[in-house]
């Protein structure tokens, strides 16, 4: 059974996205930590005739739809 990174490579996707970090800045320039998490969703995808469950972001699902790769609902 291939790993999720191998499946993502076959789909033409890069590594799984990580959260982005930054700061919220107030008018007084106080800095508090801010985290933006990627919109990950579980989807079934068919690769080489086999069904695999892959965590994809909403943006990656749009990209696969544009490429013509069908995603199966659960």
CATH domain 4-72 topology: Ribosomal Protein L24e; Chain: T; (2.30.170)
Residue with tokens 């972001």: 57
Asked if the model's pLDDT at residue 70 lies above 90, the reply is no
- Percentage of the chain with pLDDT > 90? 77
Check if the beta carbon of residue 19 is closer than 8 Å to that of residue 34: no
User: For residues 45 and 54, is the Cβ–Cβ distance under 8 A?
Assistant: yes
The mean per-residue pLDDT over the stretch 48-70 comes to 92
* Mean pLDDT, rounded, for 19-31: 96
Q: Is 61 buried (19+), middle (13-18) or exposed (0-12) by CB count in 10 A? A: middle
Q: What DSSP character marks residue 15? A: S
Q: Is the pTM of this model over 0.95?
A: no
Among 6, 27, 28, smallest CA distance to 45 is for 6
Domain residue spans in the chain? 4-72
The overall average pLDDT reported for the chain is 92
């Amino acid at each position: 059974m291939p790993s999720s990174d191998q499946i993502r490579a076959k789909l033409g996707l890069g590594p799984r996205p990580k959260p982005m970090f930054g700061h919220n800045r107030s008018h007084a320039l106080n800095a508090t930590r801010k985290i933006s998490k990627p919109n990950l969703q579980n989807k079934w995808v068919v690769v080489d005739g086999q069904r695999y469950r892959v965590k994809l972001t909403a943006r990656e699902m749009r990209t696969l739809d544009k490429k013509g790769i069908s995603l199966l609902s659960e």
